[in-house]
Amino acid sequence: MKTSPETHVPLTGYADVPEDQMLARALAFHDRMARRRSVRQFSDKPVPREIIEACVRTAGSAPSGANHQPWYFACVGSADKKREIREAAEVEEREFYAGRAGEEWLDALAPIGTDADKPYMETAPWLICIFAQRRGGLREGEDRKNYYIHESVGIATGLLIAACHEAGLATLVHTPNPMKFLNGICGRPETEKPFLILVAGHPAKEAMVPKHALIKKPLDEIAGFL
């Protein structure tokens, strides 16, 4: 590893957390994160833009290939644009549920109870449309190849979901397929690929979650220690 005062600065920001506190913090974070649910019934209660901005800043702090940060978050709060996105998404969803998905996929979704109607895309105050950039680079105006694009944007999206949850916002990952229509609605160049839509807002008072979603695989099924 090559470092020099021209290109590197000392690492800061890591307090030396005592081990018992490390465990307590890890457990407390798990306790909060494990309460997250995908929500499909939202309240129309507004969420101030500053809260979304703070969550997107957290997403933007994610690690990425060559630090090119190959993402763009189009935060849609306008009622007209949300309606456009809902309508275009529902066109795709109707085909999906009418057969394009295939039997096995529809079978997997049955316990969740989803269908082609997506009213929450208009009810929720924010639709965060996430785009992946094939090219870009770090500095504005650059046109360099980006690397590990899906990994990077996936990690950033994970941080965004965690940040929203920590702020007290409910979210839903939504992926109409195809979703090229998002480029036009969000005014993004054709070289960007829509990654997913994160619906964010307050949950509706009467919101329900599928029992199916409460089943989490135990640690020994998802991890091994070698």
In the complex, which residues of this chain contact ligand IYR (CB under 6 A)? Answer: 93, 96, 109, 114, 174-176
Nearest-approach distance from CB 8 to ligand IYR, in angstroms = 43
| Cα separation, 196 vs 140, whole angstroms | 23
Q: Between residues 70 and 172, which has the closer beta carbon with respect to ligand IYR?
A: 172
Nearest-approach distance from CB 222 to ligand IYR, in angstroms = 18
Q: Between residues 58 and 114, which has the closer beta carbon with respect to ligand IYR?
A: 114
Q: Which residue is nearest to ligand IYR (CB)?
A: 114
Nearest-approach distance from CB 74 to ligand IYR, in angstroms = 19
Q: Between residues 100 and 134, which has the closer beta carbon with respect to ligand IYR?
A: 100
Q: Between residues 109 and 167, which has the closer beta carbon with respect to ligand IYR?
A: 109
Nearest-approach distance from CB 59 to ligand IYR, in angstroms = 21
The neighbouring-strand residues paired with 14 are: none
Cβ-in-10-Å burial (0-12, 13-18, 19+) of 122 comes to middle
| Cα separation, 144 vs 100, whole angstroms | 37
Question: What value, to the nearest 5°, has the Cα angle with vertex 131 and ends 188 and 164?
Answer: 125
Nearest-approach distance from CB 56 to ligand IYR, in angstroms = 22
Q: Between residues 53 and 107, which has the closer beta carbon with respect to ligand IYR?
A: 107
Phi (first) and psi of residue 136, to 5 degrees:
160, -70
- Which DSSP string corresponds to 117-138? --THHHHSSEEEEEEEESEE-S
Phi (first) and psi of residue 218, to 5 degrees:
-70, 160
| Cα separation, 27 vs 162, whole angstroms | 15
Contact 126, 54 (CB under 8 A): no
Q: Between residues 60 and 154, which has the closer beta carbon with respect to ligand IYR?
A: 154
Nearest-approach distance from CB 114 to ligand IYR, in angstroms = 4
